[in-house]
Structure 1
Amino acid sequence: MSVTSTFSEKTTPEKIGIALSGIILLFLLGDAIPKIFGAEFAQQATEQLGFPPYQTALIGWVLLACTVVWAIPRTSVLGAVGLTAYLGGAVTIDMHEEVWFAVVFAVGFGLLIWAAMILRRRDLLKVLIG
C-alpha cells in the first residue's frame, strides 16, 4: 500500500479539511508577514496592546514558525498545539484589554484549526474521544 495518496483518493471530510486548512493557512500568513516586515498597522496594533514596537517582528516570527510546522502534515499536530498556545496568549491579552470580539474570534479560530486537523486526520478524533 502506498503511503501517499492523491487528492481524488481522499474522502469528502478530508477534502474539506484540506480546503479549510488552506484558508486558515492564508489567514495566518496574512497575519504573520506584516508583523515580520514591520508594517505600520501591525506595529500600531501591537503597541495598542501594550507591547513595544520592536516585539512586533518577534511575534510575527513565532506565528510563522507555528504556522509552518502546522502546514507540514508530519508535524501538524505539534503546529496545532503551538498555534493553540499562541492564540491562548492572544485571548489573555485581549481579555486584559477587554476586547471581547477579539477574544471570541481567537477562541473560534483555534477551534477551527483543530476542526480542520480532525477533518484532515480522522485518527485524531479517535484519540480525542477515546
Structure 2
Amino acid sequence: MSTNAQRAGWVITALVTLFLGFDIVTHLLRVGPVTDFNDKIGAPDWFPVVCGAVLGLSLIAYHLPATRAMGTVLITAYLGGAVTVNLVFGQPAFNTVFAIATAVLVWAGAWPRDERLRGLVTA
C-alpha cells in the first residue's frame, strides 16, 4: 500500500482509538449513562466493567503488530454485540449505525497498515 494510505490508516486508527478509549473508561468507571442503560437491559452490575475490560484488551491487541488481525476481529465482534443489543432493546437507529460505522473505521484503520490482515480477507 502507498504511504498516503498508510498515513490515512494511522489517522483513522488514532480517531477510533480516542473514541474506543473513551468508551472503555466510561464502562470501567461505570458512569451514569452506562449504568442507566445496564439497568434498562437488566444486565448484572458487573457487566459494564467486563465489557470495558474486553474492549480494552481488544484495543491493545489492535495496536500490536503481532495481534492486529485478532484485535481487529475482536473489536468488530464486540461492536456486533453492541449492534445486537441496540436492535433488541429498541435504541435509536443512530446508535446502531454508529456502532457499524465504528467497526468499518476499525477495519479502515488497520487495512492499509497490515498486509497480513489484507491476506486474511483476500486469500
Calculate the aligned-residue CA RMSD, in Å: 1.8
Give structure 1 regions of 4+ aligned residues with deviation exceeding 3 angstroms. Answer: 122-127
TM-superposed CA distance for 1:90, in Å, is 0.8
Partner of 1:63: 55
TM-score (norm 1): 0.82
User: Which runs of 5 or more structure 2 residues have no equivalent in the other structure?
Assistant: none
TM-score norm. by structure 2 comes to 0.86
C-alpha distance in 1, partners of 2:33/2:10?
Answer: 30
- 1:49–1:97 Cα contact (<8 Å) kept: yes
Q: 1:44 touches 1:53 (CA, 8 Å); kept in 2? A: no
Distance 1:104 1:47 in 2: 23
The number of residues matched between the two structures is 121
Shift of 1:50: 3.0
Give me the identity figure in percent: 27
Query: Which structure dedicates a bigger proportion of its chain to helix?
Result: 2
Output the CA distance in 2 between the equivalents of 1:13 and 1:69.
21
Are residues 1:109 and 2:102 paired?
yes
CA distance in 2, matches of 1:24, 1:120: 15
- Higher RCO structure (Cα 8 Å, ≥6 apart): 2
Q: CA, structure 1 residues 117+90, in 2 after alignment: closer, same or farther (shift >3 Å)?
A: same
